């Protein structure tokens, strides 16, 4: 019986699943099973899974479209391992991932862990730029990247895991915005320790265009307000920064139009800092320019989603719309 059960929800991601399974087949330690849960895809990946069935202990399930949280829960109900590991379908796993993870858990066991993500050298320029925007301290305030402060760390579903005993006590994922943050919060509330294992990193493709990235981060901004309603003490200053960025940027542009162009100098300085940081990290002029664009898209979209949800759900008192959340999560 395998020690790890890898659970991956899938919706119309044939090419991504192929890359993911190829990376899992190349692992230096194979003490795991892979459970692919096809969540009502119109472009199923069953044939791809069949091609890798001889290389990986693979179990493929097709079910009606109910959203990826329910798909993960469906996979856990059918898992045989003692430790569940979750990846998104757009991840590529380095060859020593499970060897490293098993060693780290043997050295300092925890019932729940999370790991960082990064951009692979063979990713497209826009994927590298988006990866920078999602992990840089200048854009996230240190809550997502590899040099994260432990007290701020929350495992995310693209690279997280927990022991069977956690699932048996806490239950599965809820179908909602930011279901992984909600899950991690419930794990902490149940008294389980959570650890960041920096060495257990994955390559995360994320979105392939700025338009798709904008929609994703807009939903992230809305979800932060949902989490505040569920967990009143969870909202921190760092979560409000994108909203403050949107408000400050709008004021600077307005002042530049009615007063003097000097009003937008702080915005230009910030863009220059982003560009310099991205250039240092990626060593690519093109990626650095795209990283500035991706960072502004992220902050603006997240901030606008945050502001809109705050006004509607809190100031106007409408609260959560669970039906809307479930509808938006299906097939994402």
Reported as a single tens digit per residue, the pLDDT across 42-94 is 999 999 999 999 999 999 999 999 999 999 999 999 999 999 999 999 999 99
pLDDT of 331 over the 60 cut: no
Structure tokens at 210: 């700025």
Confidence band of 322 (pLDDT split at 50, 70, 90)? confident
Q: According to the model, what pLDDT value does residue 152 have?
A: 64
pLDDT of 106 over the 70 cut: yes
Q: According to the model, what pLDDT value does residue 143 have?
A: 60
Q: Give CA separation, 240 vs 173, 303, 305, 315, in Å.
A: 25, 8, 11, 16
Q: According to the model, what pLDDT value does residue 142 have?
A: 60
- Span of 52-66, 91-105, 312-326 with lowest mean pLDDT: 312-326
Give 179-213 pLDDT, tens digit per residue: 999 999 999 999 999 999 999 999 998 878 999 99
pLDDT of 41 over the 90 cut: yes
Structure tokens at 184: 């991690």
- Output the CA torsion 190→196→200→203 (10° steps): 100
Domain boundaries, the chain: 4-208, 211-329
Q: According to the model, what pLDDT value does residue 234 have?
A: 87
Mean pLDDT confidence for 10-15: 95
- Decide the pairing of beta strands 112-114 and 159-163: antiparallel
Q: According to the model, what pLDDT value does residue 178 have?
A: 85
Q: According to the model, what pLDDT value does residue 225 have?
A: 95
Paired with 62 in beta bridges are 38
- For the entire predicted model, the pTM comes to 0.88
Q: What is the DSSP string of 175-203?
A: SSTTHHHHHHHHHHHTT--EEE-TTS-EE
Instruction: Give the whole-number percent of the chain exceeding pLDDT 70.
Output: 94
Confidence band of 140 (pLDDT split at 50, 70, 90)? confident
Give 145-185 pLDDT, tens digit per residue: 445 555 567 899 999 999 999 999 999 999 887 899 999 99
For 38, residues 6+ apart whose C-beta sits below 8 A from its C-beta are 10, 11, 44, 45, 46, 60, 61, 62, 63
Q: According to the model, what pLDDT value does residue 120 have?
A: 87
What is the Cα–Cα distance from 58 to 19, expressed in whole angstroms?
A: 15
pLDDT of 255 over the 80 cut: yes
What is the Cα–Cα distance from 55 to 308, expressed in whole angstroms?
A: 48
Q: According to the model, what pLDDT value does residue 287 have?
A: 97
- Which CATH number is correct for 4-208, 1.20.970.10, 1.20.1270.360, 3.30.750.24, 3.90.550.10? 3.90.550.10
């Amino acid at each position: 019986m395998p020690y790890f059960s890898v659970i991956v929800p899938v919706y119309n991601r044939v090419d991504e699943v192929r890359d993911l399974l190829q990376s899992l087949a190349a692992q230096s330690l194979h003490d795991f099973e892979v459970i692919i849960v096809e969540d009502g895809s119109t472009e199923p990946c069953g044939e791809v899974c069949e091609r890798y069935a001889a290389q990986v202990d693979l179990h493929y399930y097709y079910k009606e479209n109910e959203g990826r949280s329910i798909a993960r829960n469906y996979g856990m109900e059918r898992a045989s391992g003692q430790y569940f590991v979750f990846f998104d379908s757009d991840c590529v796993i380095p060859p020593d991932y499970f060897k490293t993870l098993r060693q780290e858990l043997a050295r300092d066991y925890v019932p729940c862990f999370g790991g960082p993500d990064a951009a692979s050298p063979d990713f497209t320029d826009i994927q590298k730029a988006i990866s920078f925007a999602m992990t840089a301290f200048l854009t996230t305030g240190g809550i997502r990247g590899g040099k994260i402060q432990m007290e701020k760390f929350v495992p995310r579903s693209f690279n997280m895991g927990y022991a069977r005993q956690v699932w048996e006590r806490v239950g599965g994922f809820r179908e909602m915005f930011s279901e992984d943050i909600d899950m991690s919060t419930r794990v902490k509330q149940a008294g389980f320790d959570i650890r960041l294992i920096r060495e257990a990193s994955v390559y995360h493709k994320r979105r392939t265009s700025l338009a798709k990235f904008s929609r994703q981060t807009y939903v992230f901004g809305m979800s932060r307000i949902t989490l505040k309603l569920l967990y009143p003490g969870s909202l921190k200053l760092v979560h409000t920064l994108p909203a403050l960025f949107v408000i400050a940027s709008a004021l600077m542009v307005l002042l530049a139009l009615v007063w003097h162009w000097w009003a937008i100098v702080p915005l230009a300085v910030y863009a220059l800092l982003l560009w310099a940081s991205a250039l240092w990290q990626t060593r690519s002029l093109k990626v650095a320019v795209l990283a500035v664009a991706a960072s502004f898209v992220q902050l603006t979209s997240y901030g606008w989603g945050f502001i809109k949800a705050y006004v509607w759900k809190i100031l106007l008192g409408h609260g959560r719309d669970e039906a809307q959340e479930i509808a938006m999560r299906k097939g994402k």
